Structure 1
Amino acid sequence: MAQITLLQARLDDAEQLTSMMKKTFDEEALHWLGTVDSHIVDYNIQPPGYDSVYTTRYMIEELTYYKIMLEEQLVGGVILTITGKRFGRIDRIFIDPAYQGQGVGSEVIRLVEKAYPSVTTWDLETSPRQKGNLHFYEKMGFERTFETEDEVCYIKRIRNGMAVSENAFESCNLEDATFYQANLANSAFSNSTLAGAHFSNINLRGAKFQNINFRSTLLADLNLSGSRVKHVDMSGVEFKDTTIEDAPVSFERCELMGTRFTNCKMVDVEINACDISGMKIDGVSVEELLEVYRMEIKKKV
């Protein structure tokens, strides 16, 4: 078999990787759902943003993204999230349909495990509709931990003989625990429940939050200077004294230079190539204003 290697993806690989990912997952949808545009929503068969170059760029920048190379040929990609030293997650793996069934996927799993010898627990999920995936992951040593009609979760534990850190907590019940004046610098939380947790007077400088459910969360009195918010669904979010689809977002008493809204300072803000249907400024239709403006321009020509 030709040599398979993993190379770190770069931003200039985004378009090629996106095209290959779309081709792969669309082929899966066609096979398991009967059509690419099925009414069945299965995010394991067609993951969010799988056809978006911007999502690929985000993943290259913020996650661990490898190109799968067969000799000099790009044949797929694998995206990982490494939490601490002992826990890893295979977020996505895709292989060009033309190269499937040739042992590429099995070798990629082995190469990933070899690249992170300290990781003793790997997890992932797939669709129960993808019967081939179920067989593949179980052949590679993954065990089912949770299953619904929409998703099958897997975990693989590796016994490598390495010493386990005394600060590693796994499968622990820390409900109602209190940490006061605790040093948790560089700690990692993965596959954990923090529902109802209360964080106060905390230094989270340089922290990373990814794949988190923050529904109905209160974020108040925060310094987020220099922070980045990427690929976040903020439908119905409200910002006061301090961006969005479906439910409306409210902005009040904010200094948002370079943006726009109510009682806000918006010097030099621009709106370009946007759908402004129904948009109003002080009750006046922006569409009507633009129409009047265009008519005046025509008169001058």
Structure 2
Amino acid sequence: MEIKVERLDFEMADISGSRFQKVKAEELNFDNVNMAKTQINNANMRGMALNDVNMSELRISDANLSGTEIKNANFSHAVIDHVHLFGTEFRNVVLPMEGDGNYNPNGVYKPISFINCDLSNSQLTNCNLANMDIRDCDISGLKINGVLVEDLINKK
């Protein structure tokens, strides 16, 4: 089967409901585009760059995000399920500030949850862990500022 090569240039166009199957779509450029409710399945997105995007209610499953760098992203109400994250960095992960779309003046937000995760050999640096609740976790070797948590618990 021969692939048809065609360069498309859309501006001020509505291509909602379009389908792309078995398509080579490398080096695409989307600028000021509404892609709400778009589904991407079985895709190679290695090296993809997303900048200034709203990813609230995003669903990612069965994904390899190894080596991914996530900075200044809005993932409110997102679900990330069964992903490989080794070598991934999350930087400047903060709650919404006044003026942000999801800002709540009462400061009440749904908690961030890690469920059935292997975070062994991970590092948390300069993070606010106030009121964090750790339950039913293997804490062997867990250190906080160089102090083994097991030693603190055993001193009770």
Please classify the TM superposition score into its range, dividing by the shorter chain length: 0.5 to 0.7
Following the alignment from structure 1 to structure 2, what is the Cα–Cα distance between the partners of residues 225 and 173? 31
Q: Are 1:188 and 2:55 matched, yes or no?
A: no
Residue aligning to 1:277: 140
Aligned equivalents of 2:21 and 2:126: distance in 1? 44
Q: CA deviation at 1:247?
A: 5.3
Shift of 1:174: 1.8
- SS of residue in 2 equivalent to 1:211: strand
Match of 2:77 in 1: 226
Which consecutive unaligned segments of at least 5 residues does structure 1 have? 1-164, 260-268, 294-301
Tell me the TM-score normalised to structure 2 length: 0.58
2:123 alignment counterpart: 250
Which residue is equivalent to 2:22? Answer: 171
Amino acid at match of 1:289: L
Q: Which residue of 2 aligns with 1:241?
A: 92
Quick one: distance in 2 between partners of 1:181 and 1:290? 53
SS of alignment partner, residue 219 of structure 1:
strand
Instruction: Classify 1:253/1:184 alpha carbon distance in 2 versus 1 (closer, same or farther; 3 Å).
Output: same
SS of residue paired to 1:254: coil
One-letter code of the match for 1:258? N
Match 1:217 to one of 68, 88, 94:
68
1:197 is the counterpart of 2:48: yes
Residue 204 (structure 1) shift: 2.6
Preserved contact between residue 236 and residue 249 of structure 1 (Cα < 8 Å): no
Give me the whole-angstrom Cα distance separating, in 2, the residues matched to 1:205 and 1:276: 31
Instruction: Tell me how far apart the structure 2 counterparts of residues 213 and 241 of structure 1 sit (CA, whole Å).
Output: 22
For residue 183 of structure 1, report the CA deviation from its aligned partner.
3.0
Give the TM-score of the pair, scaled to structure 1.
0.33
Aligned CA RMSD, in angstroms, stands at 3.0
Number of aligned positions between the proteins: 119
Q: Is the 8 A contact 1:280 1:286 kept in 2?
A: yes
Contact 1:241 1:252 in 2 (8 A): no
Report the secondary structure of 1:290's partner residue: helix
Deviation at 1:213, TM superposition (A): 1.8
- RCO comparison, higher one (Cα < 8 Å, 6+): 2
Instruction: Tell me: CA distance 1:236–1:290, structure 2 relative to 1, closer, same or farther (3 Å).
Output: same
Q: Please give the secondary structure, in 1, of the residue aligned with 2:124.
A: strand
Write the distance in 1 (CA, Å) between the matches of 2:149 and 2:136: 14
Distance 2:148 2:57 in 1: 43
Aligned equivalents of 1:196, 1:281: Cα separation in 2:
34
Question: Which runs of 5 or more structure 2 residues have no equivalent in the other structure?
Answer: 1-15, 94-113
Superposed CA offset, 1:172-215 (max 9, x none): 22222222223323222112222222222223333322222212
| Amino acid across the alignment from 2:118 | E
More helix by share: 1
**Structure 1, residues 32-83: CA drift from partner, whole Å, max 9, x if none?**
xxxxxxxxxxxxxxxxxxxxxxxxxxxxxxxxxxxxxxxxxxxxxxxxxxxx
Instruction: Give the distance between the partners of 1:183 and 1:292, measured in 2 at CA.
Output: 56
